[in-house]
Structure 1
Amino acid sequence: MITDNEKQVTFIQFDEPPLQAGEYTITLKQKVNLQAEPYTVTRKFAVSGERFVLADEDINSVFPPNLANGEFSGAMAHVVFNRRTLPWERTAVAGQADTPWLAVLLLNKDTELPVQRKTARDLVPKGTAITVQGSTLTGTGEMPAGYISYPGFQTLEYGETPDTPCNVIDIPVALFNQIAPAKEDLPFLAHLRKTDTIAKAGVDASLEDSDYAVTLCNRIPLGGADSYAYLVSLENFGAYLPGTDGTNNIPAGTQYVRLLCYRAWNFFLNNMDQNFRDLLENLNKDQNGLTTLQFPFPGLTPTVEEVQAALAGQAAGTLSSAQADVLVKNAMMMGYIPADHHLRHGGHTVSFYRGPLAPFAVRETVKVPVSTPDALNRYNPQTGMFDVSYSAAWQLGQLLALQNKNYATALYNWKRQETAAEVVAEEEIILREKYKNIKAFSKIFNARKAALSTKAEDDELLKAVTEWLGKLSTLNGVPFNYLLPDTSMLPPESLRFFELNNSWIDAMMDGAFSVGRSTERERMRDQKHITSIFPKARAASCRQRARRPHLLNAGSDAKVVTGFLMRSMLVGGWPGLEINAYKDLDAKEEIPLIRMERLSSEVMIALFDGRLKCLAVHEPPETLHQGVNGTAATGFNTLLRVIKGDNPGQQIGTSTAPIPMRTDNQTIQVKTAAKNILDTLNAPPISEGITTFTSAEFALEMIRSAVKVEFIYDPIKSTT
């Protein structure tokens, strides 16, 4: 039985939108007793939808990723959409709601097609009049003779014009019949996936699951060749699609088929290790064994004995050049980098800086609040160097707070109300002591308290302050160069673990909380509030993401936070990358995820509520790809999985079903393949007894095994 915390993906046949794009007429009738004929009102309305272009945010990802190099033989390229209804908002075959209008076509290097910039009029035969629904706008088609495109495009929909820009590809008819799916194939080439998003980057952190629509290609790449994929529209194109064996249904005399193209990408079949598994297993390869955030340096790592001897020499004033090198390397191992430091009163020096992401657990030495950032500087008189890490954090926190008008205003107003309430309380104590027998003051002070503030207002202001500080404590909004002061600490194709330096976070939060603080009395007042607000903010940060059921009660004040930075093609190629962290090496005791976010197209950060020892990286369920096994010489097949019962998706031993191809041995006869799978599942010895076999079941049976790679985190031990 699959439990909630094990659920990864559910396949669904399709999701028909309430109304497909087009023009509609609605008629309302009302019959009353005094009127023989009912009152009738008729109105027309239009439902608009994507047609000539797709927005970038509609497409989640493509597989294989653009420009990827790897072993993709047998894989069916696909596109993942963020909107669950998109492939069915139009149709390729009138009256068939489960038939998608979007398709993925795959070409080999020798048949690559250029994507051309055109307009809507270039999809209508030359000289044909073009009209627009609900508009007097007209135009004339410009598509040359010998071309065929979408039937009915001479009447454009609301909001469209003959000059609407679009991208197209022109496919020779013989090639189109070779690569295009049959209309009987199309219903099996799109499905919906409901996936667990608790441990996923790039999604709403409060969601437990999300829906993605997927459109599959009906071809597999040719071994040893470059492949070119195109996401195209087949709207109303059912009559022109080839037969299941590639037979022609295009009118005689046609030379080219012109199709709208929304995304074009290419990938390469080779052994350059850029598929999901190989990219993961090659992280940190040839990087001197570094797995934590340290500045790389040439030569050997100093030993503990060498560091202790250098420290003793420094203290005695007999430090040699070799020992100085040892101390510098030791500092770099601890995550520090030397940086130019322009002093407040002119001049400059070199100081050490370390961001909040340390390669080991750092002792908490910072006491907040402080009056100025300079109070957090550390100075080593033996070397004459400052450590400006905490003062930089404090200054950054203040700048981020002042930059955020909502937070700064809420904090100022809350502090003002708290100060006013304290003043009233002090005055009341003084007056009660002086005029003990006068009862009128209670009424006056109660009215004054009510006028100054209400508890509801205080609570809302404090909530806004706490929530913003909670996000700040997880480094939201912190510039990347503060996190990683030198990019060589995170080279390409690397994974670097860290432990969050709580002293750095405290300094930054104090800087943010210092808005409105100008006197020593205000600093002392802030000290009282900080002891309660900062822990609440940290605790709130742990609840920013949804949690798996078995982790719902895993509470923490986020005092031990570990995580990683990843820089890899994985981040852009698989944007829904899934991560689980465990506090034991056997990956049994999971720790909650606090934050996971893509910082760029190739960099990702993740924070976990606890000290991780094992990290599991999963292939995103929405990008799990379908494909076939075998070769043209031996025949193609797919391994079968259970559909009914308690363990859907479980592989059925080595049972397979044959996957037939067209004569090119690349193009799958999809409907026939679906029938072969169904017949094999229902026949002895499997005998599933399946009566309905849709795109959901087809996707499950064609899916390749998911990839999971585990990493062990072994933090360095501080030598000082």
Structure 2
Amino acid sequence: MTTQPTEQSAPADDTPVAFYDHLLPGIAAGRYRITVGQQLPAEQLPGARLDPVEQIVDVRAAQFRLDPSWVHAVYPAAHSQGPFHGLLPHITLDPAALPWEREPFTGSVPNPARAPWLALLLFGEGELPGDPNALGTTVPLTVRALLDGDAAVSGPALDRDAVDPALLDTPCRVVDVPRDLLAQLLPEPSDLALLAHVRTGGPEGAGGSEGADAAPADDQGGRLSRDAHAVITTARFPDAAQGRYVAHLVSLEGHTPPGPEADGRPVRLVSLHSWTFTSCPESGGGFGPLARRFAPGHGEHSAAPLRPSPAAGAGLPDELGTLLEQGMVPMTHITESGERALAWYSGPFLPRVAPELPRPADGHFPDADGLLLHEPHTGTFATGYACAWNTGRALALADPGFATTLVRLRHRGRLRRATERQYVTYSQQLFHSAPSAGPAPRAAARTTVPTPRERFEELLRGDALGALAASFAHPDDAGPDPRPVPTAPATYCLNTPQRSSAPQPPSSDARETAAWLARLRTLSGVPFDCLVPDRRMLPPESLRLFHVDRGWLDALLDGARSLDRHPGADTATDAELDQLLNAQGSVPTAGLLLRSALVPGWPTLRFEARAASGAVQVEVIRREVLGGDVLLMLFDRMPDRLTIGEPHQGLHFGVDDRGDVALRSLAPGEVGRPLGRSVPVGTDPALTVTTASGARVLDVGRLAARLAEDVKSGSPLSPAEFAVQLVRAPEQLTLSFEGTTR
């Protein structure tokens, strides 16, 4: 079945999210025997009966290891710290059918509810003998050693013949769990199905639509969109007190459900993925507390323009304070003579719109000296543009592929123009040596034999010049001839084809060079110190907005293009690169820098930037994580509204701050709408079991029955419906910059 939350419970951008019970593969993993026979109706005919043909087919699926790329997200994030005591940790997997590709437990345990063969178990400190500190320690084994078994533990009972022989010597990781602890944490086999479901929705998908083209089909004949993910949730809550936990995604294949009749040996489970986190209720490390710091009134954490902040009580003169407000940073400047002096540096990110940088006559700065600007208030130099030029040249020299391509492009352009000038010279000589009389009689023209010089001149007027130039450069490298070339009267009969004037496509070297420069224009590869010259401009847990200085970008590109450049000889090549660059997409004009624990904790953090009071969507030109906790985003315009939200696939499950489950409607067309009622889970001992060690474990079966009484009149809840009831919608923060000075 499918459920679609309404706007009240949908993600922040109202993109629908669909829930499915499961996605069953067309055929389960295992070994199959295919028998093919043929029999004709007339058995008396020769060859009417043929012996059957048998073929053994192995349908393989993940069993002992998972590709790390299959893990789309985990919550809480690995190594994170925050108030997680009201949430059920979960893992999101990209292969949506993965949890149902195998059978849980042994063949003697029925599975009518289609329970997954994977389970997510949560362990605290001191619970696992092999990992007392909950650091995620596992035991490495080969698949062969796992199948051979160990008398001290109860391992999986798997058919060795059904395992691919190539996997027997590959490594896997196992964890030994005390049997009584496993019996407390693992739900009943019939309840395991409620802890796994398939979810679609998000910006990459088709808006959560069930009718997306080329999508995999579910078992009810519906269609799942391309962004389907499998979600597996644990049944255990982290404790209210501070503590570290480790979550293990384990395989249940080949095991038997823990029961009182089993022996006391630990159970050896294959751990397919694990991560650790710390639950600390007072840490304020969740998404909400972290994001709310960027709101106004939180000092240096608030979203503000990117500028250096002078120390309190510094008492700077007004002219120095003005320079700091404009984003300029005082730096030490060493002159060519070796003297040390004070200079002001400004990177490409400014808290203001930079004035237009005057350009030379040919449009490109030949060196960095012309970009050293005088700062009149302090009598020093402003070195930002000069540093940009030198940085671009250094990056170009550091890339041998780009340097070779650019130099080859310039050389071919010069050869092309030299050939053009030679053609003009020969044409002029032919015009001056032409006879003054009219054309010769037709009969005489047929008998005239051209001299070798005349033959060569005739070839130059034909296509030979174009063919020669094409082998070195493009026919349109040069501009038009400086003056028209007169045509000399012909004195002999030769077919004289005209040169083609059709525009030629740019060469591969020109396209490659323009693409490299376009990447550099988005500041790709530029050292972070050039972007943020003072680390105090971007303190921890801060968000900074900025304008991008177009003059700084132009100086950066001029430095990269300066390799082997001759202003007079390379005018046409520069014009061609300018034209190609203009077609390479938008130029960044604004952006933001985010330095926060949100960056590593929520890798798919959602940003929505809008301008014109939210009416215009701002284009994101570049988004990249720089270092461990810094996110850079470049826009085509300055936004006046910014929304930061938890990722769609980071949708959480659990109870609210009071320990209640808020009921949601399951009626068609109103799925997910809050009903205004809730079920107390934290205070009902029948719904939450507290183990001897203090672990709070959800009684999945009883809770599902209790919720069904209120939302379905007693009819059993499906996994998708159960997930809708436990949903805690992603949080978001919207910042408005309307009317502010940036």
TM-score using structure 2 length: 0.74
Equivalent runs, 1:363-374 vs 2, <5 Å? 363-367=355-359, 368-374=363-369
Q: Which residue of 2 aligns with 1:203?
A: none
Work out the CA distance in 1 between the residues paired with 2:123 and 2:583: 57
Give the equivalent residue in structure 1 for 2:310: 297
Question: What is the CA deviation profile of residues 353-396 of structure 1, one whole-angstrom value per residue up to 9, with x for unaligned ones?
Answer: 22211111111215241222232222347745332212222222
Match of 2:104 among 87, 92, 96: 92
> In 1, distance between residues paired with 2:410 and 2:601?
47
- CA distance 1:157–1:673, change in 2 (3 Å): farther
Does structure 2 retain, via aligned residues, the 8 Å contact 1:624–1:704? yes
How large is the RMSD of aligned CA atoms in angstroms? 3.9
Distance 2:51 2:426 in 1: 79
SS in 2 for 1:667: strand
Task: Specify whether residues 532 and 708 from structure 1 end up closer, same or farther in structure 2 by C-alpha distance, changes over 3 A only.
Answer: same
Q: Where does residue 278 of structure 1 map in the other structure?
A: 289
Alpha-carbon spacing, 1:404–1:295, altered in 2? closer, same or farther (3 Å): same
Give the aligned partner of residue 485 of structure 1. 533
**Do the aligned partners of residues 464 and 6 (structure 1) sit closer, same or farther apart at CA in structure 2, a change above 3 Å counting?**
farther
Deviation at 1:177, TM superposition (A): 1.3
Q: What aligned pairs does 1:514-533 form with structure 2 within 5 A after superposition?
A: 514-517=562-565, 519-522=566-569, 524-529=571-576, 531-533=578-580
The Cα of 1:277 is off from its aligned counterpart by: 0.9
Higher mean Cα deviation, 490-499 or 386-395?
386-395
Please state if 1:448 is matched with 2:443. Answer: no
Equivalent residue in structure 1 for 2:726, among 693, 702, 705: 702
Q: Is the 8 A contact 1:624 1:706 kept in 2?
A: yes
In the TM superposition, what are the counterparts of 1:457-496 in structure 2 within 5 Å?
458=506, 460-496=508-544
CA contact (8 A) 1:116 1:167 kept: no
Instruction: Indicate if the aligned counterparts of 1:334 and 1:358 stay in contact, CA closer than 8 A.
Output: yes
Moved more, 266-275 or 188-197: 188-197
Quickly say closer, same or farther: Cα 1:92–1:331, change in 2 above 3 A. farther
Spell out, residue by residue over 1:7-52, the C-alpha distance to the aligned partner (whole angstroms, 9 max, x if none): 253334444556666556667789999965369474655736351x
Distance 1:353 1:171 in 2: 60
- AA of the residue aligned to 2:19: F
Q: In structure 2, what is the equivalent of residue 222 of structure 1?
A: 239
Secondary structure class of the residue paired with 1:184: helix
Cα deviation, residue 593, structure 1: 1.9
| Equivalence for 2:352 | 360
- CA shift, 1:507, in A, is 1.2
Among residues 552, 556, 569, which one is paired with 1:508 in the alignment? 556
| Structure 1 gaps, min length 5 | 131-139, 200-207, 241-247, 303-321, 541-556, 685-690
* From 77, 80, 85, the counterpart of 1:73: 85
Q: Map Cα deviations across residues 619-670 of structure 1 (whole Å, 9 max, x no partner).
A: 11111101124767xxx4332145632x644x23314467662532932233
Task: Name the SS for the 2:279 alignment partner.
Answer: strand
Partner SS for 1:606: strand
- Write the letter of the residue equivalent to 1:47: R
Any idea what SS the aligned residue of 2:330 has? strand
3-state SS of 1:149 partner: coil
What is the identity, as a one-letter code, of the residue corresponding to 1:496?
Answer: R
| 8 A contact 1:120–1:166 mirrored in 2 | yes
State the one-letter code of the partner of 1:644: P
Check whether the contact 2:119–2:252 (CA below 8 A) recurs between aligned residues. no
- 1:307 is aligned to none
Deviation for aligned residue 1:264: 3.4
* Residue 380 of structure 2 corresponds to residue 385 of structure 1: yes
> Could you tell me which amino acid in structure 2 is paired with residue 356 of structure 1?
P
Amino acid at match of 1:575: P
> What SS class does the counterpart of residue 596 from structure 1 fall into?
strand
Q: Which moved more, 1:53-62 or 1:473-482?
A: 53-62
CA–CA distance in 2 between the matches of 1:264 and 1:410? 46
Contact 2:413 2:473 in 1 (8 A): no
Rounded Cα–Cα distance in structure 1 between residues aligned with 2:508 and 2:25: 40
Q: How does 1:246-325 map to 2 (within 5 A)?
A: 248-249=258-259, 251-261=261-271, 262-283=273-294, 285-287=298-300, 291-299=304-312, 323=317
Answer yes or no: is the 8 Å Cα contact 2:368–2:390 preserved in 1. Answer: yes
Equivalences for 1:589-604 in 2 at 5 Å? Answer: 589-604=616-631
Name which of 176, 182, 192 aligns with 1:186. Answer: 192
**Using a 3 Å threshold, how does the CA distance of structure 1 residues 494 and 298 change in structure 2: closer, same or farther?**
same
User: Aligned partners of 1:390, 1:709: CA distance in 2, in Å?
Assistant: 36
Q: Does 1:667 align with 2:697?
A: yes
Change over 3 Å in CA distance of 1:430–1:357 after alignment to 2: same
Change in CA separation of 1:526 and 1:648 when aligned onto 2, cut-off 3 Å: farther
> Does 1:11 find its partner at 2:11?
no
Partner-residue secondary structure (3-state), 1:120: strand
Given the two structures, how large is their TM-score scaled by the length of structure 1? 0.77
Distance 1:630 1:380 in 2: 57
2:595 alignment counterpart? 567
Contact 2:78 2:601 in 1 (8 A): yes
1:400 to 377, 392, 395: 395
The yes-or-no answer on 1:536 pairing with 2:583 is yes
SS at match of 2:165: coil
The CA distance in 1 between the partners of 2:374 and 2:576, in whole Å, is 29
| Contact kept in structure 1, 2:594 and 2:632, CA below 8 Å | yes
CA distance in 1, matches of 2:587, 2:241: 50
Name the structure 2 match of 1:151.
Answer: 157
User: What residue identity is the alignment partner of 1:150?
Assistant: P
Q: 1:213 aligns with which of 213, 230, 235?
A: 230
Paired letter, 1:490? L
Helix, strand or coil for the counterpart of 2:652?
A: coil
**Alpha-carbon distance, 1:416 to partner:** 4.1
Contact 1:414 1:458 in 2 (8 A): no
The total of aligned residue pairs comes to 633
| Deviation, structure 1 residue 713 | 3.5
Closer/same/farther in 2, CA of residues 481 and 213 from structure 1, 3 Å limit? farther
Contact 2:294 2:302 in 1 (8 A): no
Q: Provide the C-alpha distance between the structure 1 equivalents of 2:511 and 2:357, rounded to a whole number of angstroms.
A: 28
Are residues 445 and 175 of structure 1, via their aligned partners in 2, closer, same or farther at CA, if it must alter by over 3 Å? same
* Counterpart code for 1:520: P
Q: Is the 8 A contact 1:366 1:376 kept in 2?
A: no
Residues 574-601 of structure 1: per-residue CA shift (max 9 Å, x gap)? 111000112145x343322222222233
Aligned-partner SS, 1:37: strand
Equivalent of residue 639 in structure 2, options 599, 612, 622: 612
Structure 1 counterpart of 2:579, which letter?
Answer: S
CA contact (8 A) 1:30 1:40 kept: no
User: Which deviates more from structure 2 when the two are superposed, residues 606-615 or residues 9-18?
Assistant: 9-18
Separation in 2 of the partners of 1:477 and 1:236? 48
Distance 1:149 1:609, change over 3 A: same
Q: Which residue in 2 is equivalent to 1:120?
A: 141
Structure 1 residues 425 and 334, CA gap change in structure 2 (3 angstroms)? same
Q: Retained in 1: the 8 A contact 2:397–2:403?
A: yes
The code of the aligned residue for 1:664 comes to T
TM superposition shift of 1:445: 2.7
Q: CA–CA distance in 1 between the matches of 2:343 and 2:39? A: 86
Question: Retained in 2: the 8 A contact 1:123–1:150?
Answer: no
Residue 500 of structure 1, CA deviation: 1.0
Is the partner of 1:394 in helix, strand or coil? helix
**Kept after mapping to 1: 8 A contact 2:375/2:381:** yes
Give yes or no for the alignment of 1:101 onto 2:117: yes
User: Which AA in structure 2 matches 1:640?
Assistant: R
Is residue 177 of structure 1 aligned with residue 183 of structure 2? Answer: yes
Larger displacement relative to structure 2 (671-680 or 487-496) = 671-680
Paired position in structure 1 for 2:546: 498
CA gap 1:78/1:477 in 2 versus in 1, 3 angstroms: same
Partner SS for 1:492: coil
Give the Å deviation of 1:611: 1.6
Deviations 1:135-184 (A, max 9, x none): xxxxx54x343x3232227676433346835242x332222111112222
Structure 2 contact 128–178 (Cα < 8 Å) conserved: no
